[in-house]
A and B are shown apart, each in its own frame.
Chain A
Amino acid sequence: MTTDSHARVSDLALAASIGGMMGGMRVALMVTCVNDAMFPDTGRAVVDLLTRLGVDVEFPQAQTCCGQPMVNTGYLDEAVPVVRTFVSAFEGYDAVVTPSGSCAGSARHQHRLVAERAGDAGLVDAVSELGPKVHELSEFLVDVLGVTDVGAYFPHRVTYHPTCHSLRLLGVGERPRRLLEAVRGLTLVDLPGAEECCGFGGTFAMKNADVSVAMGADKARHVRETDAEVLVAGDNSCLMHVGGVLSRQRSGVRVMHLAEILASTEGAA
């Protein structure tokens, strides 16, 4: 009990200090289209978590999608209106936080391509300014807020899959692991072959469904080898794929977004 009350006091102190540090900083949540339409609990978890940490996060309602599905399938013209919508939704914010390494990567590395395709110098400038302000959740927590212990409690055996775009495109490194290691009650077990792609790959999962499933099956096998109850990652699209395989196999292994674990507290867990 003493540890709990101690934790709660320190949470409050942390929240107060972050709240003070943030000052007048305007933080927007970019929830992503996949989370908005399919995984609203992840978006809610980000809001709960950031609120608990003293960040007054806003949800710009004009937001839709980052345009990655179009860009990665080769439909650059179709991505132009989507990127314009993205810019008008998030322009003016000091930081944009998103529970997706892949969508953060799209905003930082692909929007310029699309803006150049549109031949719109104003759009090129806008995306160049906005891109660096987009942070994947673990980056935002560790780099912007400077926290690794977010006061979470999750008494389960968990294994972590570092999704490709978080790992290689953004280079989030050990940040998600450090956040997970600080969660009370959580047992983190290493995932064999962790850095190998799960096989989702956006429209690859449909256009090359057979290869995608073959890769997903190997990833699922590695997950089962860990005896974990929960597979956690920073991207719900990858989890939808591996989780789909794990579910079809009746493995009993649940998939959860990192945000949902970090949002879990003793009262709620």
Chain B
Amino acid sequence: MSAPTTATFVGMPTFPVAAREALADTQLRHNLAHATHTIRDKRAKVVGEVPEWEELRQAGADLKDAALLRLDVHLTRLEESLTARGAVVHWARDAAEACRIVADVAKAHDADEVVKVKSMVTQEIGLNEALAAEGVAAWETDLAELIVQLGDDLPSHILVPAIHRNRAEIREIFRTRMAASGRPAPDDLTDDPGELANAARLHLREKFLRARLGVSGANFAVAETGTLVVVESEGNGRMCLTLPEVLVSVVGIEKVVPTWADLDVFLRLLPRSSTGERMNPYTSMWHGVTPGDGPQEMHVVLLDNGRTRALADRVGRQALRCIRCSACLNVCPVYERVGGHAYGSVYPGPIGAILNPLLHGVGDDAQIDSLPYASTLCGACYDVCPVKIDIPSVLVDLRAQVVDAHRAQRPPKARPKMEAAAMRSAAWMFGDARRLARAERASGLVGRVWSRLGRTSLPGGRRAVGRLPGPGAAWTSARDIPAPPRESFRAWWRRTHR
């Protein structure tokens, strides 16, 4: 088995370092707070309209689990159904293989450009860059992906990849970058959202009509019927799926559902969780080649790229239920403040914090190892997940995997030695109440001294410690901390209860 190519961006700093940078970006903080709260509220409203929401979530989780349990059977069936309907099925173990397959199809048709439906999986495998290296231009046609691509930027959200940009920035990107890849933006373009959308529409229309090859992902792949499904809002996907002569769809193997009827549950869960709509504007479903209608040659690339690794993870495999709705991003208090780039991956936020380590494995990349710690374990993500992925539990399990991986490596590579030592001594101290009592007597002594020498008090009068040196500065650089009490609870109890 070849190693999966990581879905994280090369050379990204660890989460705490990238987050620190992001926190200082005032425009980003403002955009994110506004956007995430807006989508969060919309989602809450439309989910509240469905009395059987919890049953739906459970059904979604159960269907996905059942499908993943018999993945071998369903994938074989999918291949048969697709082939019977005239599609060519390819299997790709990793990103390199998948990109190679798409590039070969492009070359076979002498295509030097492709139009793309918004797709996470093609971002994951770095398809645009791989095609560019082969002299094939891959044009993003989703409005937000277009903004990211024209701006030579990275996506920062699963659903709204340009969530970190505001309309003034978008106007600037359109004015300066559109001309290089087709129809330029009008000279008098303002930052009015309607005008911006119209400029994109005119620019994209030429690309749609020109391109002979379309590339898509799929939200679902139905084994029984060989149906691929794309759910979208703008209609650009429908253009890419119907106008070109050739269509290549890259599909993660976890996207398979056994039957047509299973779509019922997911097509109800997804729009409400994702865009906060009762129903999304465009749901495209296609089954192989239809003579005289739409693409006359179809390829489907079934991709592993770490998914079988994730499937082997007893706790983490539930992450493969994910239907990429991004509700967890929108509700996450950490994501809300740092945005998607800090996670260094096309999969940011809570789902990214578990998916990247699961797809890649832990222990050999400090950036990936930092992701499971990018959470307070507040649990808001679990509450909103339409397929009930228990993200906090997976995060905790992955943290143990990170620690274990470094435990096994001698000498410890990336793990801070101090933390491991601190945990070992805490375990020793908490292993016996007498040891803890001794430590508390020592801290009580500090407390007595501090109550005389300390100069600051917390509201309410208790003595505070203003600034601590060394690792304690991580706390006290922005937060006061109470001085230790003179007497622990344990000592008080012993003094007053015999």
Contacts and interface: CB of A to CB of B under 8 A. Distances in A.
Contacts of A210: 16, 19-20, 23
B497 A59 contact: yes
A202 interface: yes
B337 A75 contact: no
**Dominant SS at the A interface?**
helix
Interface string A23-50: 0000000010101111111011001000
Interface in B445-470: 458-460, 464
Contact of A61 (B334, B400, B494): B494
A78 B383 contact: no
B380 interface: yes
Interface stretch (A5-13, A123-131, A142-150, A246-254): A246-254
Contacts of B19: 208, 210-211
Nearest to A69: B426
A133 interface: no
With a 10 A CB-CB cut-off, give which of B19, B23, B377 has the most chain A CB atoms: B377
Given A37-B440, A199-B376, A213 B479 contact: yes
Nearest to B19: A211
A206 interface: yes
B459 A208 contact: no
Contacts of B260: none
B23 A201 contact: no
Interface string A181-223: 0000000000000011101111111111111111111100000
B485 A38 contact: yes
Contacts of A203: 373, 419
Interface residues of A, number: 79
A197 B378 contact: yes
Contact of A38 (B338, B475, B484, B492): B484
Contacts, number: 217
Interface residues of B, number: 68
A164 B430 contact: no
B379 interface: yes
B424 interface: yes
A241 interface: yes
Contacts of A201: 375-378
Given A201-B378, A202-B377, A36 B490 contact: yes
Nearest to B333: A197
A63 interface: yes
B480 A248 contact: yes
Contacts of B443: 37
Interface string B399-413: 111111001000000
Contacts of B378: 164, 168, 197, 201
Interface string A59-83: 1011111010111111111111110
A169 B433 contact: no
With a 10 A CB-CB cut-off, give which of B379, B432, B493 has the most chain A CB atoms: B493
Contacts of A206: 471, 474-475
A254 B459 contact: yes
A64 B428 CA distance: 11
A240 interface: yes
B368 to A, nearest CB: 14
Interface string B26-64: 000000000000000000000000000000000000000
Interface in B1-33: 15-16, 19-20, 23
B373 A78 contact: no
A153 B97 CA distance: 70
A43 B489 CA distance: 6
A82 B435 CA distance: 12
B436 A168 contact: no
A118 interface: no
Contact of B423 (A33, A73, A165, A253): A73
Contacts of B383: 168
Contact of B399 (A72, A244, A253): A72
A85 interface: yes
B459 A214 contact: no
A208 B440 contact: no
A63 B15 CA distance: 36
Given A37-B439, A206-B471, A240-B481, 12 more contacts: A40-B492, A64-B432, A64-B433, A65-B436, A67-B430, A70-B427, A82-B427, A164-B377, A196-B333, A206-B475, A207-B373, A208-B15
25 contacts: A39-B482, A41-B485, A59-B490, A62-B433, A64-B430, A69-B426, A72-B377, A74-B372, A75-B423, A76-B404, A81-B427, A81-B428, A195-B380, A199-B333, A201-B377, A205-B474, A206-B471, A210-B19, A215-B334, A216-B478, A243-B459, A246-B459, A247-B458, A247-B479, A248-B480
Interface of B: 15-16, 19-20, 23, 333-334, 337-338, 372-380, 382-383, 396, 398-404, 407, 419-420, 423-424, 426-433, 436, 439-440, 443, 458-460, 464, 471, 474-475, 477-482, 484-485, 487-490, 492-494, 497
